[in-house]
C-alpha cells in the first residue's frame, strides 16, 4: 500500500497548469532572493577589491568596475602585511581548534561512555555555562591569563591566551555528547571483553565512528576563532601578533580603502574554502546530531 506525502497543496491541485506555474515562479523567486542575499555581499567585496577607491565611492552599486585593479590584492598582501596577519590567524585558529576538539571529545567520552557517578553534576555545570554571556566572565578571564593560578605567571599577549580559554566551549561538549549517546553500546562491551581499555576504546572505536560530528565541531571551532574579535583584541596587544580580525579594523584608519577591502577579500577566502571542502561531512554531522539552523 503506497502512502502519499501530505502537504499544503494536494497532488490534484499540483497537476493544474496555473498551480504549477505559480509554484515554479515562487520557487525561482525564493531561490534567487537567497542567492542574492548570500552571494551578493561576497560579490560586492570582490568588485570593490579590484576597483579604485574613487570608483567604489562614485559607483558603489555598479555591476563591475570600469577599470579593474587586480594589483590591489598583491599590494594589500605586501603593504598591509596581510600575509603576516594571516599566519597569526592560522596559528591562533590551529591551536584553538585542537584545544576545543580535545576538550569536547574527552569530556563527552567521559560523560557519555564512562559515566562516572558524579557525571550528571558535571554535565549540569557545563550546561549552566551556556546561560552566561561571554562578556560577563571577560574581566575574570583577563585577570586569570595575566596572573595564572599557582604559578603566578602570565600568558597574555601570546597565542595561549586564545587557545586555552577556547577549550571552555560548552556547546561543543553538548554536541559531542549527544552524538556519543547514539553510538551502539554493544561495541563497547565487546571491546571490553576483548581486553580493550578506556583509552583504546576511545581511539579505536569512538573517534573513527565520530568523523561527522568531528567535522561539525571542527567547522564551528574554525569559524568562531576566525571571526572572533573582542577577546583577541584584549588578550593580544602587540600589533605584530594580532590576527586578521583585529588587524583589519585597526588598519582602516590609515590604509587606502581599496587595499583594505582587498585584505578583507583575502580574509574571506579561507573559511569559504574550508566549508566547500568539508561540506559533505558537515551535512552528515548535522543530520546525525539533529542540529537545527
Percent of the chain with pLDDT over 90: 23
- Using CA atoms, how far apart are residues 7 and 82, in angstroms rounded to an integer? 52
* Enclosing domain of residue 25: 11-71
pLDDT at 2: 45
pLDDT score of 159: 93
Cβ proximity of 160 and 144 under 8 Å:
no
For the cut 90, the answer to whether the pLDDT of residue 107 exceeds it is yes
Q: What is the pLDDT of residue 97?
A: 94
What pLDDT score was predicted for residue 85?
Answer: 92
> What local confidence, expressed as pLDDT, does residue 138 receive?
87
pLDDT of residue 26: 84
Query: Do 22 and 102 fall within a single domain?
Result: no
In this structure, is residue 1 part of a structural domain?
Answer: no
pLDDT computed for residue 243 by the predictor: 92
User: How do residues 118-163 score in pLDDT, each as one tens digit?
Assistant: 888 998 888 888 888 877 888 889 999 999 888 888 999 999 999 9
Same-domain check for residues 183 and 253: yes
CATH assignment at residue 253? 1.10.3720.10
pLDDT at 181 over 50: yes
Closest Cα partner for 42 from 261, 233, 224?
261
* Total domains in the fold of the chain: 2
How far is it, in rounded angstroms, from Cα 242 to Cα 239?
5
* Residue that is written with C-alpha cell 571571526 in the block: 227
67, 106: one domain:
no
The tens digit of pLDDT for each residue in 11-56 reads 676 677 777 777 778 888 998 888 888 888 888 898 988 888 888 8
Q: CB neighbours of 72 closer than 8 A, spacing ≥ 6?
A: 49, 50, 51, 258, 259, 261, 262
C-alpha angle 204-207-208 in degrees, rounded to nearest 5: 70
pTM to 2 decimal places:
0.79
Kindly report, residue by residue over 205-241, the tens digit of the pLDDT: 999 998 888 888 888 888 888 888 889 999 998 989 9
Amino acid at each position: 500500500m503506497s502512502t502519499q506525502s501530505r502537504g499544503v497543496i494536494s497532488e490534484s491541485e499540483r497537476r493544474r497548469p496555473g498551480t504549477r506555474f505559480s509554484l515554479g515562479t515562487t520557487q525561482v523567486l525564493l531561490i534567487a532572493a537567497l542567492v542574492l542575499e548570500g552571494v551578493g555581499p561576497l560579490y560586492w567585496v570582490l568588485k570593490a577589491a579590484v576597483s579604485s577607491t574613487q570608483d567604489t565611492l562614485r559607483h558603489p552599486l555598479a555591476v563591475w568596475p570600469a577599470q579593474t585593479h587586480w594589483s590591489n590584492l598583491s599590494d594589500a598582501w605586501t603593504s598591509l602585511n596581510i600575509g603576516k596577519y594571516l599566519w597569526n590567524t592560522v596559528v591562533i585558529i590551529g591551536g584553538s581548534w585542537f584545544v576545543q576538539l580535545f576538550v569536547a571529545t574527552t569530556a563527552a567520552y567521559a560523560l557519555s561512555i564512562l559515566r562516572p557517578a558524579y557525571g550528571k553534576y558535571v554535565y549540569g555545570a557545563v550546561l549552566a555555562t551556556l546561560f552566561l554571556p561571554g562578556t560577563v566572565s571577560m574581566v575574570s578571564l583577563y585577570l586569570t591569563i595575566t596572573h595564572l593560578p599557582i604559578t603566578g605567571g602570565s600568558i597574555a599577549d601570546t597565542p595561549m591566551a586564545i587557545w586555552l580559554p577556547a577549550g571552555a566551549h560548552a556547546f561543543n561538549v553538548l554536541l559531542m555528547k549527544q552524538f556519543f549517546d547514539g553510538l551502539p553500546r554493544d561495541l563497547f562491551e565487546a571491546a571490553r571483553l576483548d581486553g580493550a581499555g578506556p583509552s583504546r576504546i576511545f581511539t579505536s572505536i569512538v573517534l573513527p565512528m565520530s568523523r561527522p560530528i568531528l567535522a561539525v565541531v571542527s567547522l564551528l571551532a574554525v569559524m568562531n576563532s576566525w571571526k572572533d574579535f573582542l577577546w583577541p583584541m584584549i588578550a593580544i596587544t602587540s600589533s605584530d601578533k594580532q590576527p586578521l580580525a583585529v588587524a583589519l579594523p585597526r588598519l582602516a584608519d590609515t590604509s587606502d580603502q581599496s587595499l583594505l577591502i582587498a585584505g578583507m577579500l583575502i580574509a574571506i577566502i579561507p573559511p569559504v574554502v574550508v566549508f566547500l571542502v568539508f561540506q559533505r561531512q558537515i551535512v552528515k554531522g548535522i543530520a546525525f546530531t539533529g542540529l537545527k539552523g
